[in-house]
């Protein structure tokens, strides 16, 4: 018996050695350059602006070298949760474009709270200069878990040539918007040759909530109680579901990427999207119009999107990672980034000199986040909201579907009101 | 000689030594994870949490009342029935057609076998692109032919059919090659004798060729069934389980619960139910085959 144990032990030891499981020697040289790894999902046309920012940081911080690894969002969503939960992975990352996903990472104990870095002045994380919505979205149980990698609002992109051909003006009100979507849809027999608008319903930054907000409706209130079945919301969903089902103003079941492709291919006249899309649309040769989201009964509104930039809990270079975040969200970096990218700055005390930024910055005061501050938001999105839009755009009666969605939301959030 | 040294000697038998590395790898990478997932399925287990609450059979009870799991069962069942039948029947038809080796049949064999070599993920990406309703090649051709192509992957009634079609297309080459090899092994004199007895082409096939092919048919059916029951890559790449869960297979649902929501206990319970299902189905298939062999 004993000899078999010995053989077994020897084999295991041999295998482990062969697999290279020994821990690497760590250097304690104070002059050594600290290497930070950063995963982001900025694969779009805005990518060079982020890369430049990293380059600037490395140039001004000789003792830290940040290497940014840009991957598609779904690749990050596959790899990062497991990596961080088991103490591996990059020092810093943007886990998702949806801040709601932070809750999942907090649940698996993967994120480093940033509170010790928060303060006033350079070298600190100036959280009080971030838009309030950002801090709400990134704070969980009183702790700040991310800094904004960017800040954006959605606008209405439209194809000027198609509007001119139809003799239409840029829509200012919700009614004009709906009418334009209908009028710009062209059919030949059964076939739609031009869509009025390109709406996505999954794998995207949600655009349907804007249609509800425009009309004064909403999905869920701050206490987690569903408001999606209230009249203003049902009315908005009915209007747009009818436009999609009966008037075929948009294809159904599109992802965000599908919706962009459709608009870029000049097969749709309008799309609601953020600043990252502008360069691609112009490159596709579209005579691009950019307008604020039309105003309905709910007053001016748009959707705010902010990508969280978080630190992995098991990073070995906490101080350097926090320094990077403070610099990234600092005045100098944000002014430079905004000028280069066309995104509004993530700080309220910086104004961009880039004229492209104006329409997006103009949306900031009334921009709202999708399902903000709810630990269950990823589940509400995946299990309730996305299926709801899928159902009503395939002809299911809106009122019943909205009521069922409201019940499902209340069950998920535990709202009993 | 004492018993201790005897056991020691027996353990030192070179056969065990040769087996040890493989056994160790199986133990570490297969047996241990399987047992651990069984243990996890009895807990409310979230990655990264310090303690995991013991729930006994709670996850399994929740599973049997879970509508989305039942939906996933149906989707997987339908997919398996249709693709396995389609794959084996089409594979057999192709094998019969391409039985004689000519330059054309060699070319066609390679062509039909090619999708087997590519991974499900690659196949899924390519087909998703081809079938895109707005910019895909398939609908563009249909348009040229004067009709409007459907939303292959966005239409709730059509999405699973499309995925099954791609699944069959991907698997048919494998069945074909296995059956071709088996066909080459059918003794010519048997067919000759059947011909002399006045058997037509159908009778030759039915009474001589098919019985000879039984082991190969069983093999392809079992492999295809096990692969189909584990359907994931195609769905993940082509539809993400949508539209509206119409293509969400058991493994796709497991992925959602386990690796998106991190409910590993619940996901492990799903995995164990799937494991038992595959075990039962394979046992039934083998039993059927054996009873035929006996008779």
CB–CB of B46 and A390 under 8 A? no
B205: tokens are 């096939």
Closest approach of chain A CAs to the CA of B74, in angstroms? 19
What integer pLDDT is reported at residue B101 of this predicted model? 85
All domains of chain A in start order, with CATH: 34-153+306-368 (3.40.190.10), 155-303+372-413 (3.40.190.10)
A13: tokens are 């030891």
CB-CB neighbors (< 8 A) of A396 in chain B: none
How many Å apart are CA A389 and CA A238, to the nearest integer? 11
Longest dimension (CA), chain A: 91
CB-CB neighbors (< 8 A) of A203 in chain B: 240
Q: How many CB atoms lie within 10 A of CB A78?
A: 16
How many Å apart are CA A85 and CA B161, to the nearest integer? 38
Whether A347 contacts A126, CB under 8 Å: yes
Give the CA angle between residues B200, B203, B208 to the nearest 5°.
Answer: 120
CB-CB neighbors (< 8 A) of B133 in chain A: 251
Regions of chain B where pLDDT drops below 50: 1-4, 294-295
How many Å apart are CA B284 and CA A61, to the nearest integer? 67
Q: How many CA atoms lie within 13 A of B176 on its CB side?
A: 27
B8: tokens are 């020691």
Please tell me which residue of chain A has the smallest CA distance to B47: A108
How many Å apart are CA B108 and CA B67, to the nearest integer? 44
For A22-80, write each residue's pLDDT tens digit. 344 444 566 789 999 999 999 887 899 999 999 999 999 999 999 999 999 888 988 99
- Can you point out the beta strands (E) in A323-404? 367-368
Residue extents of the structural domains in chain B? 61-294
How many Å apart are CA A317 and CA A320, to the nearest integer? 6
Element holding A192 (H helix, E strand): strand A191-194
Please tell me which residue of chain A has the smallest CA distance to B21: A11
What is the percent of chain B with per-residue pLDDT over 90, rounded to a whole number?
Answer: 67
- The model carries a pTM of 0.84
B34: tokens are 């399987």
pLDDT of residue A354 exceeding 90 = no
Mean pLDDT of chain A: 89
CB–CB of A108 and B46 under 8 A? yes
pLDDT of residue A21 exceeding 50 = no
For A197-252, write each residue's pLDDT tens digit. 999 998 889 999 999 999 999 999 988 999 999 999 999 999 999 999 999 999 99
What integer pLDDT is reported at residue A18 of this predicted model? 45
Choose among A1, A77, A86: nearest Cβ to B7.
Answer: A1
3 state SS of B20: helix
How many Å apart are CA B34 and CA B155, to the nearest integer? 37
CB-CB neighbors (< 8 A) of B243 in chain A: 252-253, 390, 394
Least Cα distance to A178 among A294, A298, A301, A302 occurs for A294
> What integer is the mean pLDDT of A181-195?
91
How many Å apart are CA B225 and CA B80, to the nearest integer? 6
CATH entry 1.10.3720.10 includes domain B61-294: yes
What integer pLDDT is reported at residue B47 of this predicted model? 75
Sequence-ordered alpha helix ranges (H) in chain B: 3-11, 14-26, 32-40, 58-64, 67-97, 103-117, 120-130, 137-144, 159-184, 188-196, 201-203, 210-229, 233-238, 250-255, 264-294
What integer pLDDT is reported at residue A279 of this predicted model? 85
φ/ψ (deg, to 5) at B26: -60, -45
With cut-offs at 50, 70 and 90, classify the pLDDT of residue A188: confident
> CA A211, A217, A222, A227 torsion: positive or negative?
negative
Query: Which of B40, B45, B134, B156 has the most A C-beta neighbours within 10 Å, making it the best mutation to test the interface with A?
Result: B134
For A75-105, write each residue's pLDDT tens digit. 898 899 889 988 899 999 999 988 988 988 9
Write the secondary structure of A222-291 as one string of H (helix), E (strand) and C (coil).
CCCCECCCCHHHHHHHHHHHHHHHCCCCCCCCCEHHHHHHHHHCCCECEEEECHHHHHHHHHCCCCEEEE
């Amino acid at each position: 018996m004993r000899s078999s144990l010995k053989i077994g032990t020897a084999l295991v030891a041999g295998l482990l050695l062969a697999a290279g499981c020994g821990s690497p020697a760590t250097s304690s040289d104070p002059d050594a350059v600290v290497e930070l790894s950063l995963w982001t999902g900025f694969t779009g046309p805005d990518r060079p602006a982020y890369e430049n920012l990293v380059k600037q940081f490395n140039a001004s911080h000789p003792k830290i070298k940040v290497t940014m690894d840009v991957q598609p969002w779904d690749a990050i969503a596959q790899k990062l949760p497991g990596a961080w939960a088991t103490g591996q992975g990059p020092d810093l990352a943007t886990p998702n474009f949806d801040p709601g996903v932070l809750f999942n990472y907090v649940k698996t104990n993967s994120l480093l709270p940033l509170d010790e870095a928060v303060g006033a002045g350079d070298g600190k994380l100036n959280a009080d200069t971030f838009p309030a919505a950002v801090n709400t979205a990134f704070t969980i149980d009183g702790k700040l878990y991310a800094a904004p990698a960017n800040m954006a609002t959605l606008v209405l992109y439209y194809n000027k040539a198609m509007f001119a051909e139809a003799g239409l003006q840029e829509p200012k009100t919700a009614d004009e918007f709906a009418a334009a979507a209908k009028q710009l849809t062209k059919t030949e027999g059964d076939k739609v040759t031009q869509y009025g608008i390109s709406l996505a319903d999954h794998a995207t930054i949600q655009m349907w909530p804007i249609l509800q907000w425009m009309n004064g409706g909403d999905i869920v209130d701050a206490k987690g109680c569903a408001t999606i079945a209230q009249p203003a919301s049902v009315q908005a969903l009915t209007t747009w579901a009818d436009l999609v089902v009966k008037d075929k103003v948009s294809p159904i079941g599109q992802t965000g990427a599908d919706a962009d492709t459709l608009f870029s291919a000049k097969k749709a006249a309008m799309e609601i999207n953020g600043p990252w899309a502008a360069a691609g649309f112009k490159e596709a040769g579209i005579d691009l119009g950019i307008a604020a989201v039309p105003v309905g009964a709910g007053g001016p509104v748009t959707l705010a999107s902010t990508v969280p930039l978080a630190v992995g809990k098991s990073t070995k270079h906490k101080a350097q990672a926090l320094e990077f975040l403070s610099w990234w969200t600092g005045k100098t970096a944000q002014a430079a980034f905004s000028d280069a990218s066309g995104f509004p700055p993530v700080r309220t005390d910086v104004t961009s000199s880039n004229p492209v930024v104006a329409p997006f910055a103009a949306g900031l005061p009334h921009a709202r986040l999708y399902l903000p501050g709810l630990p269950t938001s990823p589940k509400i999105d995946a299990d309730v909201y996305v299926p709801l839009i899928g159902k009503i755009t395939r002809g299911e009666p809106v009122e019943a579907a909205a009521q069922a969605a409201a019940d499902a939301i209340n069950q998920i959030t535990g709202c009993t009101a | 000689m004492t018993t201790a040294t005897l056991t020691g000697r027996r353990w030192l038998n070179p056969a065990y030594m040769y087996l040890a590395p493989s056994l160790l790898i199986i133990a570490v990478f297969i047996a241990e994870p399987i047992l651990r997932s069984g243990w996890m399925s009895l807990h409310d287990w979230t990655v990264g949490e310090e303690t995991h609450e013991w729930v006994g059979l709670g996850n399994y009870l929740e599973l049997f009342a879970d509508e989305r799991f039942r939906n996933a069962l149906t989707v997987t069942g339908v997919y398996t029935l249709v693709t396995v039948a389609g794959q084996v029947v089409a594979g057999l038809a192709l094998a019969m057609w391409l039985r004689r080796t000519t330059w054309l049949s060699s070319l066609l064999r390679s062509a039909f076998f090619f999708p087997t070599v590519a991974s499900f993920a690659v196949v899924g990406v390519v087909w998703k692109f081809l079938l895109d309703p707005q910019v895909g090649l398939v609908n563009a051709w249909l348009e040229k032919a004067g009709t409007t192509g459907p939303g292959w992957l966005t239409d709730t009634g059509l999405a699973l059919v499309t995925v099954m079609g791609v699944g069959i297309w991907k698997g048919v080459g494998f069945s074909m090659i296995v059956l071709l090899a088996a066909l080459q092994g059918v003794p010519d004199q048997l067919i000759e004798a059947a011909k002399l007895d006045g058997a037509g082409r159908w009778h030759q096939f039915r009474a001589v060729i098919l019985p000879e092919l039984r082991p190969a048919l069983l093999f392809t059916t079992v492999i295809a069934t096990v692969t189909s029951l584990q359907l994931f890559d195609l769905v993940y790449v082509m539809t993400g389980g949508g539209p509206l869960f119409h293509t969400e297979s058991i493994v796709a649902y497991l992925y959602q619960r386990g690796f998106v929501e991190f409910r590993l206990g619940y996901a492990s319970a799903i995995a164990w139910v799937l494991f038992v299902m595959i075990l039962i189905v394979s046992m039934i298939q083998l039993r059927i085959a054996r009873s035929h062999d006996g008779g």
